[in-house]
A and B are shown apart, each in its own frame.
Chain A
Amino acid sequence: MTNSTSQGKDTADALVTKAITATGDEYFQSERALLARGAAAIAALQQRAQDPDPVARFVVKTLLDWIEGRAADNDAALQYLDAAEKRYARTPVGNPPPTGVARYLVEHYAGRVTPVLTLRLIKEDSWPHWRVMAVLFYVQQYPDKELLAPLTHFAATTTEAEWRNEAVETVNVIRGVKRAQSLAP
């Protein structure tokens, strides 16, 4: 019994470590596994809640909040993005307009899904341009200091100049040295 508990805890710890360090499919496997464990994953996540790395702390806190009560909004917002992509794929434009998506997120979720979308922003390897820009425009409307570390990390590591520029704009909005991009149509 002791062995099986210890083994289970080790696995949860490993999943948390992977969630912090990995990106792309490897990250999503660990995210899915942690969310599926629900309350059983909380102890392992809480062990890393004081990690010296601010980005690691953000990942842990966002996953904890997801498990502990933000699941409905988070899941709905992510489903909306997937649905919008499919719907616009059939149109001449091809992709959803980033400011329109950001406006939708503001109207339906206010600032409640900024953490999960920022988490996806730094963990996705293959997000299309419209998703990246839409999330950055949306996050700018709710300047939250908790998002500074992941957005700074994204700005420093992305190889796309336009994404980096908008991420820095977002960082500057959160720091209070710039105004947010207007979402007016």
Chain B
Amino acid sequence: MANVPPASAVVNRYAGRVRFDVLEEHLEEVDFLFAQRALLLTSQRHTLSDLDASEQRLLAHLDGLLAGEAEAYKLLLPKFVQGEGGEVFAVAYTVLATADAAWLELLARMYFDNAQGPVLDGLCAALRLVPHSANVTAVVAPWFTAARAPLRAAALDVLGFRRDPAVMPLVRALLDDPEPAVRAAACVAAGQLRDYSLRERVERELSASDDALRRAALRSAMLLGSTLVLDQCRAAVQRHAAEADEADEALRLLGYAGQAVDLPRVLAALSEETLVSAALAALGWMGNVAAIETLLDYAGHPQHLFQVAQSFQRITGVDFGAEQLLSASSAAPAAQADSARGGASADETALPNPDKLAVWWSAHAAQFPAEQRLLHGQPFTLGGMLLLLEQAALAQRGEIALALALMDAALPHIESTAFAVVQRTQCAACGV
């Protein structure tokens, strides 16, 4: 045993032998996989398992950089000055995962505090995802009192994303920030952490004049169990013509909440062309078979078929492929629908044939109870939601996580863009 060198000596001995070209390969792969991960999260075809597989590759290449840390700085340090998304993510992740307190403090004050644009984006991605909480806190703690509003908002974003309860007192303080963007970030963090003591404070922002702040407050107040926010959503749907964006969000939130009393309101919103997509989505989340006939009415419109299919599936759980309901030319409308939703990857979502769908419903409608909220043909339960979260397309998981959180005030708001392994831990904490 006496001949075993100390760990530091082993590290030093190997540090000089790390091959630079191998580190370059690791950095290139991290850059690529980071971009791929961002695309995956918008996929209508890939699931949490696919994300997990991609992340295992990403983490393996990050391990390569971590193993060559001292040597890797020859490659990584310039990225703080002129890097972009994935490269900055790689260097920030390496620093956060390996740096001792003094080195981290130095780099944080030299580079992290001055980050802007793509550098700040890559840095925040690393701060959200890296498992080393103490180092993350050390970096962002001074940001809460930073002169630059984007840093204050980033600090809230990072710790809210990580569901770090240490941020709660700071959220309260920054809800009074003079910058609407910071108050919006504070509202989001309050909802993410489900800090019910902030409900009334968040509700005050429901009437804010800043659109982004008001919308952040809307979603957050919902997560904090506000009853006021449901009335606000209902009112927003009523005055849809003037504030289509807010009405769109309000409709979706009413859908996630799933209260039967709102069904007529959601159906009425279909008369407004700009709200049809949100209303169809809401009908799916409400899980009421009374809405199926209405969904079928809209299945004949190619621009709405994607949303109809999703909502139909969300209520009934029908497998379009197994039931031979697929349209022969489903790829093109799917691409159109994806494009209409704002550029999410089109993927190869298989869409049903509207006529076959109507025939199938005629034959099977009697199987579905009319008085229950349904999710994939089953009563709307925690277990069902968790299963859906595991199996659903990645692009849909954000709203599933929100609907899950709205089921029960005691449930966590699962972060649908965290590393898959973290999400699965959060799901396990739900107690099923």
**Which A residues are within 8 Å of any B CB, using their own CB?**
52-55, 145, 148-149, 152-153, 155-157, 164-165, 168, 171-172, 175, 177-179
Q: Is the CB of B110 within 8 A of A55?
A: yes
**Which B residues are within 8 Å of any A CB, using their own CB?**
8, 11-12, 15-16, 69-71, 73-74, 77-78, 80-81, 100, 102-103, 106-107, 109-111, 113
- Max chain A C-beta neighbours (<10 A), residue from B8, B100, B106: B106
A-B contact pairs, 26 of them (CB 8 A): A52-B109, A52-B113, A53-B110, A54-B106, A54-B109, A54-B110, A148-B103, A148-B106, A152-B77, A152-B110, A153-B110, A155-B78, A156-B78, A156-B80, A164-B77, A168-B70, A171-B73, A172-B73, A175-B70, A177-B8, A177-B11, A177-B12, A177-B15, A177-B69, A177-B70, A178-B12
Q: Is the CB of B77 within 8 A of A53?
A: no
Closest Cβ neighbor of A164 among chain B residues: B74
8 closest Cβ pairs, A-B complex: A156-B77, A177-B70, A168-B74, A172-B70, A168-B73, A155-B77, A165-B74, A156-B81
The CA of A175 and the CA of B78, in the complex, are separated in Å by: 18
The CA of A81 and the CA of B12, in the complex, are separated in Å by: 33
**Min C-beta distance of A154 to chain B, whole Å:** 10
Q: Is the CB of A164 within 8 A of B78?
A: yes
Q: Is the CB of A155 within 8 A of B73?
A: yes
**Min C-beta distance of A72 to chain B, whole Å:** 31
Given contacts A145-B102, A148-B103, A152-B107, 8 further A-B contacts (CB under 8 A): A54-B109, A149-B110, A156-B78, A164-B74, A168-B70, A168-B73, A168-B74, A178-B16
A-B contact count (CB 8 A): 56
**Min C-beta distance of B107 to chain A, whole Å:** 7
**Min C-beta distance of A165 to chain B, whole Å:** 5
Closest Cβ neighbor of B105 among chain A residues: A54
Q: Is the CB of B70 within 8 A of A178?
A: yes
Closest Cβ neighbor of A155 among chain B residues: B77
The CA of A80 and the CA of B80, in the complex, are separated in Å by: 35
B residues within 8 A CB of A148?
A: 103, 106
The CA of A53 and the CA of B108, in the complex, are separated in Å by: 10
B residues within 8 A CB of A156?
A: 77-78, 80-81, 111
**Min C-beta distance of A98 to chain B, whole Å:** 19
**Min C-beta distance of A136 to chain B, whole Å:** 13
The CA of A177 and the CA of B9, in the complex, are separated in Å by: 9
A residues within 8 A CB of B15?
A: 172, 177-178
**Min C-beta distance of A158 to chain B, whole Å:** 8
**Min C-beta distance of B206 to chain A, whole Å:** 37
B residues within 8 A CB of A155?
A: 73-74, 77-78
**Min C-beta distance of A13 to chain B, whole Å:** 20
B residues within 8 A CB of A52?
A: 109, 113
Q: Is the CB of A168 within 8 A of B77?
A: yes
**Min C-beta distance of A150 to chain B, whole Å:** 10
The CA of A53 and the CA of B110, in the complex, are separated in Å by: 6
Closest Cβ neighbor of B72 among chain A residues: A168
The CA of A147 and the CA of B107, in the complex, are separated in Å by: 13
**Min C-beta distance of A184 to chain B, whole Å:** 17
The CA of A156 and the CA of B11, in the complex, are separated in Å by: 24
The CA of A55 and the CA of B16, in the complex, are separated in Å by: 28
The CA of A112 and the CA of B69, in the complex, are separated in Å by: 30
The CA of A54 and the CA of B106, in the complex, are separated in Å by: 7
The CA of A178 and the CA of B68, in the complex, are separated in Å by: 12
B residues within 8 A CB of A55?
A: 110
Q: Is the CB of B106 within 8 A of A152?
A: yes
The CA of A60 and the CA of B73, in the complex, are separated in Å by: 27
